[in-house]
Amino acid sequence: MTLICRAGFIPPLHILLSLLLFVTLLTAPGCTGKIPEDQFRKVYTDLLIAQDSLGRDKQATEKIKEALYKKHGITKARFDKTIKYYKENPEEWAVFCDSLIKETEKRINANERGN
């Protein structure tokens, strides 16, 4: 079976492969979907710790968020999408919060032992 476009020619293989790669990257959940729970827990823990030390300074909080996005290799859009996902799935949010508490306690204990 030969693949022929309406124009009557077969597109070069490299064009087909490039299109396939583009579509795959565009739709890959790691690129545009919610952040995996284990990674999001680390991001969110960092954010909670930073906000605790900053108080209610909105400008400083936004700068910290941008630095955390960069540190963890995510975007604001993915962070917001993940927050939206958990808002729409309260049962999963409760499970996430339980794991977040454990992660935060673990970090605090590790810091206290280190000091």
- Is residue 71 a part of any domain in this protein? yes
Identify whether the C-beta of residue 35 lies closer than 8 Å to the C-beta of residue 43.
Answer: yes
Residue 7 forms part of a structural domain: no
Within the chain, which residues score under 70 in pLDDT? 1-32, 115
Structural domain contains residue 90: yes
Express each pLDDT in 11-30 by its tens digit.
555 454 454 444 444 444 44
Residue 28 falls within a domain, yes or no?
no
Which element (helix H / strand E) includes 14? helix 13-27
Measuring CA to CA, how many Å separate 92 from each of 5, 24, 32, 76, 85? 47, 28, 20, 21, 9
- How many domains is the chain partitioned into structurally? 1
Let me know if residue 58 belongs to a domain.
Answer: yes
Asked whether residue 24 is domain-assigned, the answer is no
How high is the pLDDT of residue 16? 43
Domain interval for residue 77: 33-114
**pLDDT reported for residue 26:** 42
pTM for the full model? 0.65
Rounded to the nearest angstrom, the gap between the alpha carbon of residue 82 and the centroid of all alpha carbons in its chain is: 7
81 vs 78: CA distance, rounded Å: 5
Tell me if 109 is assigned to some domain: yes
Residue 79 belongs to some domain of the structure: yes
